[in-house]
């Protein structure tokens, strides 16, 4: 099946319209008519080669929502007409200890990323900036009624990437949680941590988005551009979720943790970060990382968001605005996720 898409033809090249091939629907596959695709900063890292060279041309997009158009003979969980989503992975071995524990994202054989990965049949995966995709049914999520479909798209990456560490490190009543960076991931972290009952603080470069941060559910908002912030908040937080796409001063943020506190990096800059071990030793602190979440956990997150009646705050764009949207994300000028209306793809 040949479908319209937007691809980066080479590293750091502007995205342009193209046509790609989707595989025939196998017995355990679902054909999805994609309605909306979110733009994640990881798409930009990939296109720009920040994480190394990729198999170009690459069609990015791993925040996919749409409607089931066809199912294979063995598929029972999804039916034609269902509202569904696909996130950052489309397959994993299914047998290793991590897959069996529901942590498919940490598959020992390597999960198959939704784009720029090698699928089990040896082909290169292509992502959601397209009109249709064929995905193994086990990696297709149900989007509950009660979340607007376009606003649900960013949950498939930004939502689960923040939900998973917030759950893992026990965000909830009595916990002080800070979110560094109020972009796509950051604004979801604020909404989710607030819904979990934690006391939420935003640490943003400036106070420009303070009103938004408080509306999204934050209790406090501070500018990291103000050096006083790091003195005033020293030793305060149980958990800090760092969503920044660039290098940060890790020691400065570790200093904001209480005894036994954890700084978890979900932000994924290409360059190494460094720290002084005394920032950890001095208060039995941990520095951790976390990548998306498992499939069952992603469904749990979607149901959690539906129960609390929120999706992402989005700006819906047409395909010809993708390159401009990339520039705006790079300039931290996103409120708070760009979502492509795939009806405009061609």
3-state secondary structure of 67: strand
Window contacting ligand NAP (CB under 6 A); options: 2-10, 169-177, 284-292, 298-306? 284-292
Q: Does 142 bind ligand NAP (CB under 6 A)?
A: no
We find the least distance from the C-beta atom of residue 27 to ligand NAP, in angstroms, to be 30
Instruction: Tell me which residue has tokens 């995205």.
Output: 15
Of the pair 255, 293, the CB lying nearest Zn ion is at: 293
Maximum pairwise Cα distance, the chain: 62
Q: Please tell me the count of residues contacting ligand NAP according to CB under 6 A.
A: 31
Q: Which residue blocks in 223-294 are alpha helix, DSSP H?
A: 228-232, 250-254, 278-281
Q: Please report, for residues 67, 103, 132, 316, the alpha-carbon distance to residue 71 in angstroms, rounded to integers and kept in the order given.
A: 11, 25, 13, 29
> Does residue 322 belong to the site contacting ligand NAP (CB under 6 A)?
no
Give the three-state DSSP class for 307. helix
Q: Which of 17, 60, 125, 56 is nearest to 329 (CA)?
A: 60
**Residue positions counted in the chain:** 346
CA dihedral (292, 149, 192, 231) positive or negative:
positive
Q: Are 274 and 249 in contact (CB under 8 A)?
A: no
190 touches ligand NAP by CB under 6 A: no
List the interface residues with ligand NAP, window 249-278 (CB under 6 A).
266-269
List all residues 6 or more positions away from 56 whose beta carbon is below 8 Å from its beta carbon. 8, 9, 10, 11, 13
> Hey, which residues between 90 and 109 contact ligand NAP (CB under 6 A)?
none
Write down the least CB distance from residue 147 to ligand NAP, Å: 19
**Sites for ligand NAP among residues 25-64 (CB under 6 A):** 40-42, 45
Rule CB under 5 A: say whether 334 interacts with Zn ion: no
42 belongs to the binding site for Zn ion (CB under 5 A): yes
Contacts with Zn ion by CB under 5 A: the residue count is 3
Contact 320, 344 (CB under 8 A): yes
User: Please, which residue, 184 or 217, has the CB nearer to ligand NAP?
Assistant: 184
Which of 131, 201, 245, 298: binder of ligand NAP (CB under 6 A)?
Answer: 245
Taking CB within 5 to 8 Å according to partner kind, which of ligand NAP, Zn ion, none is near residue 46?
none
Q: Residue numbers of the site for Zn ion (CB under 5 A)?
A: 40, 42, 157
Q: Residue numbers of the site for ligand NAP (CB under 6 A)?
A: 40-42, 45, 157-158, 161, 181-186, 204-205, 209, 243-246, 248, 266-269, 290-292, 329, 332, 334
């Amino acid at each position: 099946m040949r479908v319209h898409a937007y691809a980066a033809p080479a590293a750091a090249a502007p995205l342009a319209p193209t046509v790609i091939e989707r595989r025939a629907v196998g017995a355990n596959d679902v054909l999805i008519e994609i309605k909306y695709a979110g733009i994640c900063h990881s798409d930009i890292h990939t296109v720009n080669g920040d994480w190394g060279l990729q198999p170009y041309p690459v069609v990015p997009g791993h925040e996919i929502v749409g409607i089931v158009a066809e199912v294979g003979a063995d598929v029972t969980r999804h039916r034609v007409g269902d509202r569904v989503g696909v996130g950052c992975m489309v397959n994993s071995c299914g047998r290793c200890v991590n897959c069996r524990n529901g942590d498919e994202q940490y598959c020992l054989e390597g999960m198959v990323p939704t784009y720029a990965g090698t699928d089990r049949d040896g082909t290169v995966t292509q992502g959601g900036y397209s009109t249709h995709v064929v995905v193994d049914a086990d990696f297709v999520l149900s989007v509950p009624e009660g979340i607007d479909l376009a606003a649900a798209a960013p949950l498939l990456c930004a939502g689960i990437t923040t939900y998973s560490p917030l759950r893992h490190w026990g965000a909830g009543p009595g916990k002080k949680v800070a979110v560094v960076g109020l972009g796509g991931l950051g604004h979801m972290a604020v909404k989710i941590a607030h819904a979990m009952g934690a006391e939420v603080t935003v640490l943003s470069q400036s106070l420009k988005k303070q009103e938004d941060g408080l509306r999204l559910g934050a209790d406090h908002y501070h500018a990291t551009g103000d050096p006083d912030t790091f003195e005033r908040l020293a030793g305060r937080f149980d958990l800090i979720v760092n969503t920044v796409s660039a290098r940060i001063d890790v020691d400065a943020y570790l200093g904001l943790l209480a005894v036994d506190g954890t700084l978890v990096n979900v932000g994924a800059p290409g360059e190494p970060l460094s720290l002084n071990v005394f920032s950890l030793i001095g208060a039995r602190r941990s520095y951790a990382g976390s990548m998306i979440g498992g499939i069952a956990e992603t469904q749990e997150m979607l149901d959690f968001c539906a129960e609390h009646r929120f999706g992402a705050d989005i700006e819906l764009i047409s395909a010809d605005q993708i390159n401009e949207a990339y520039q705006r994300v790079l300039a931290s000028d996103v409120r708070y996720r760009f979502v492509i209306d795939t009806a405009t793809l061609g």
